[in-house]
């Protein structure tokens, strides 16, 4: 199967300091890849570079045979990348329904259909569809950020710390939903502080340290209480 | 007789204040739309109002020269189109080349554009103030025994329709939703495939059209002159500051308050006092409530 996204030799710098250094990884549809690492290891920078919110200094981002590394974010989104940022960043003044509808490029009737699909997928949101997004709880905002990204039917879903600030039960629901999304054929790249939770749903895992890949392999071969992994995440 | 006259005067005064407020609201609305979309102040906004007035005066003179005496209201769509093009020009010169620079770059670039507009208008139009044609000509209307000028009534109706139209555009259309998303978080909107830069340029065109409309409407009562841009700019700025920086309903209310203040103080004291006291009131408000009178009414969580 051709990869959904192939990242090759990706580097990101902030004024001379390398935040991401020569990272390569491949995502396939149906797979969850956990991106682990300590605070400041470069997880967020990697995701932000993939979606185009920070410039790529070197490297390739290939989707469907096309290198996206020099394209603006909106064209990367069109190429099939979906992004769920750290802190959710839902459009606070828009209603739940509007948050989903606003990202769909289609005629009004199809947009309504897509919104209905997403609300069916996230029943918590369906009950709040006419509420402004700032009124939602953290968990609901997280679901909305995921629904909003999915509404564009991406091939690849990039998630930055989706469990941050969520109660354990709510985080468990979010992670179960992510596994189901991958099982539907979407490639999921999941940057997470909570290694145990991420590994539990991941097929593969990549551990970053100081912007470089320190460890990579099948998720089931890694365990969150392994000393070597613990040392990298500390 | 005295109470009757006082009542008539009060009603006339309020109608005039409302008409002025409606025109200021058009100015403030365009200012806030660009402020939200581009994340920066368009300093040439007041000059777009002035150019709308210039366009109205010039087109009326040209048409009259060709032997066409058209009612002022027919001119308005033409003025709006010309002013929309001016807005597009401001976007092309003051925003597009600087779209990835900090907001201060656009602020400075539009200060330069404001100067260019003012000097060009002085060269082309001359320093003398002129009058734009009335939108609705004729003797005052008698309503409930009170004589009301047609121009203020036309102004209230036209500005009200334009503002309602912008609201419908923002709230009911996909372009409007996208505009609001971009205004809240431009980077996030782009990461979700929304063409943010196009929407910002659209906001400039719309702001230009609204400013031009205001200029043509105000140009009958208050004259049109090349140097009046900064005054309008300041009104828009005050309306936005009073209304809670970036809030659309706040800016509209701010504009109405300014007009009410100006009209009442002018009636009791004088127009000069009205301007001076307006700035004092602004200072007081900003010291007392830096977030504006209506800031934070709509709560936002990060």
CB contact under 8 A, A98 and B299: no
Give pLDDT, residue B166: 96
**Percent of the residues in chain A that have a pLDDT greater than 70, as a whole number:** 99
* A111 vs B: CB within 8 A: yes
pLDDT reading at A193 higher than 60: yes
pLDDT reading at A223 higher than 80: no
Q: Mean pLDDT, to the nearest integer, of B123-148?
A: 84
The total number of structural domains that make up chain B:
1
CB contact under 8 A, B178 and A91: no
CB contact under 8 A, B194 and A74: yes
Interface of A with B in 26-55 (CB under 8 A): 51-53
Provide the pLDDT confidence category of residue A62 given band limits of 50, 70 and 90: very high
- Whether A207 and A232 have beta carbons less than 8 Å apart is answered as yes
- The parent domain of residue B29 ranges over 2-135+150-288
* A77 vs B: CB within 8 A: yes
- Structural domain contains residue B296: no
pLDDT reading at A80 higher than 90: yes
CB contact under 8 A, A91 and B174: no
Q: Which of B47, B149, B147, B49 is nearest to B94 (CA)?
A: B47
- Structural domain contains residue B21: yes
CB contact under 8 A, A93 and B184: yes
- Structural domain contains residue B30: yes
Q: Distance, in angstroms, between A52 CA and closest chain B CA? A: 7
Reported as half-sphere exposure (CB side, CA atoms, 13 A), residue B136 has a value of 14
Q: Which residue on chain A is closest to B170 by alpha carbon? A: A94
**Would you state the structure tokens that stand for residue A170, as one six-digit string?**
């709510």
Q: Which residue on chain B is closest to A137 by alpha carbon? A: B301
Q: Mean pLDDT, to the nearest integer, of A20-47?
A: 93
Dump pLDDT digits (tens) for B191-243.
Answer: 999 999 999 999 999 999 999 999 999 998 888 999 899 999 999 999 998 88
Dump pLDDT digits (tens) for B159-181.
Answer: 999 999 999 999 999 999 999 99
Residue B227 CA to residue B260 CA, distance in Å, equals: 24
Q: Distance, in angstroms, between A167 CA and closest chain B CA? A: 18
Dump pLDDT digits (tens) for B49-70.
Answer: 999 999 999 998 888 888 887 7
| SS3 category, A156 | strand
Instruction: Nearest by CB to A73, from B191, B298, B300: name it.
Output: B191
* A234 vs B: CB within 8 A: no
Residue B99 CA to residue B252 CA, distance in Å, equals: 27
- Structural domain contains residue B144: no
Strand A156-160 and strand A81-84: the pairing is parallel
- Whether B132 and B60 have beta carbons less than 8 Å apart is answered as yes
- CB pairs below 8 Å between A and B: how many? 72
pLDDT reading at B1 higher than 50: no
Q: Which of A216, A174, A224 is nearest to A196 (CA)?
A: A224
Provide the pLDDT confidence category of residue B3 given band limits of 50, 70 and 90: low
* A149 vs B: CB within 8 A: yes
- Structural domain contains residue B76: yes
* A156 vs B: CB within 8 A: no
- Tell the residue number behind the tokens 């409606």, with chain if given: B22
CB contact under 8 A, A85 and B188: yes
Query: What CATH number has the domain bearing residue B70?
Result: 1.10.3470
CB contact under 8 A, A53 and B187: yes
pTM of the predicted model as reported, rounded to 2 decimal places: 0.89
Give pLDDT, residue A45: 94
Q: CATH 3.40.50.300: does it fit domain A5-90+145-233?
A: yes
Residue A222 CA to residue B255 CA, distance in Å, equals: 63
Which helix (H) or strand (E) segment holds residue B170: the answer is: helix B150-172
- Structural domain contains residue B195: yes
Q: Mean pLDDT, to the nearest integer, of B142-155?
A: 85
Query: Which of B193, B194, B300 to substitute to test the interface with A, most A CBs within 10 Å?
Result: B193
pLDDT reading at B2 higher than 50: no
Instruction: Nearest by CB to A73, from B190, B299, B300: name it.
Output: B190
CB contacts of A103 in chain B (<8 Å) are 192-194
Would you say the ipTM is above 0.95?
no
Q: Distance, in angstroms, between A224 CA and closest chain B CA? A: 31
| SS3 category, A215 | strand
- Structural domain contains residue B265: yes
Residue A116 CA to residue B96 CA, distance in Å, equals: 37
Q: Where are the domains of chain A?
A: 5-90+145-233
Mean pLDDT of all residues belonging to chain A: 92
Query: Which of A51, A74, A110 to substitute to test the interface with B, most B CBs within 10 Å?
Result: A74
């Amino acid at each position: 199967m051709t990869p959904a996204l192939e990242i090759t030799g990706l580097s990101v710098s902030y004024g001379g300091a390398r935040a991401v250094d020569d990272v390569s990884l491949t995502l396939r549809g149906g797979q969850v890849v956990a991106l682990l690492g300590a605070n400041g290891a470069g997880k967020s920078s990697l995701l932000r570079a993939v979606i185009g919110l920070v410039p790529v200094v070197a490297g390739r981002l290939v989707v469907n045979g096309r290198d996206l590394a020099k394209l603006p974010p909106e064209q990367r989104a069109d190429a099939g990348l979906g992004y769920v940022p750290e802190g959710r960043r839902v459009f606070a003044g828009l209603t739940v329904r509007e948050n989903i509808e606003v990202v769909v490029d289609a005629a009004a009737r199809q947009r309504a259909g897509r919104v209905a699909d997403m609300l069916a997928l996230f029943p918590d949101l369906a009950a709040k569809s006419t509420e402004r997004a700032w009124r939602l709880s953290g968990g609901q905002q997280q679901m909305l950020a995921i629904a909003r990204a999915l509404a564009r039917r991406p091939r690849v879903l990039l998630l930055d710390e989706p469990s941050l600030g969520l109660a354990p039960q709510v985080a468990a629901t979010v992670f179960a939903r992510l596994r189901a999304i991958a099982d539907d054929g979407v490639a999921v790249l999941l940057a997470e502080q909570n290694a145990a939770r991420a590994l539990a749903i991941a097929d593969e895992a990549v551990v970053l340290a100081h912007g470089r890949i320190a460890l990579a392999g099948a998720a089931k071969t890694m365990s969150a209480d392994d000393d070597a992994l613990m040392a990298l995440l500390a | 007789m005295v109470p009757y006259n006082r009542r008539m005067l009060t009603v006339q005064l309020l109608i005039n204040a409302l008409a002025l407020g409606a025109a200021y609201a058009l100015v403030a609305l365009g200012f806030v739309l660009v402020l939200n979309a581009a994340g920066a102040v368009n300093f040439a906004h007041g000059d777009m109002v002035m150019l709308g007035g210039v366009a109205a005066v010039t087109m009326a003179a040209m048409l009259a020269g060709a032997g066409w005496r058209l009612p002022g209201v027919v001119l308005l769509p033409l003025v709006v189109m010309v002013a929309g093009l001016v807005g597009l020009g401001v976007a092309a010169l003051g925003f597009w080349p600087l779209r990835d620079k900090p907001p201060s770059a656009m602020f400075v670039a539009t200060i330069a554009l404001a100067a260019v507009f003012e000097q060009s208008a002085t060269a082309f139009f001359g320093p003398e103030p002129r009058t734009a044609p009335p939108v609705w000509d004729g003797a005052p209307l008698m309503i409930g025994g009170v004589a009301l000028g047609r121009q203020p009534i036309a102004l209230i109706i036209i500005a009200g329709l334009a503002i309602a139209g912008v609201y419908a555009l923002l709230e009911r259309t996909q372009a409007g939703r996208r505009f609001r998303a971009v205004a809240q978080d431009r980077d996030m909107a782009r990461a979700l495939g929304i063409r943010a830069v196009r929407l910002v340029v659209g906001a400039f065109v719309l702001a230009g059209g609204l400013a031009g409309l205001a200029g043509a409407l105000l140009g009958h009562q208050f004259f049109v002159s090349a140097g009046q841009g900064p005054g309008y700019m300041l009104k828009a700025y005050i309306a936005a500051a009073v209304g809670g920086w970036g809030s659309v309903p706040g800016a509209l209310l701010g504009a109405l308050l300014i007009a009410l203040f100006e009209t009442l103080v002018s009636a009791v004291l004088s127009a000069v006092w009205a301007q001076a006291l307006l700035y004092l009131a602004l200072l007081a408000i900003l010291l007392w409530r830096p977030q504006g009178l209506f800031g934070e009414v709509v709560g936002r969580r990060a």
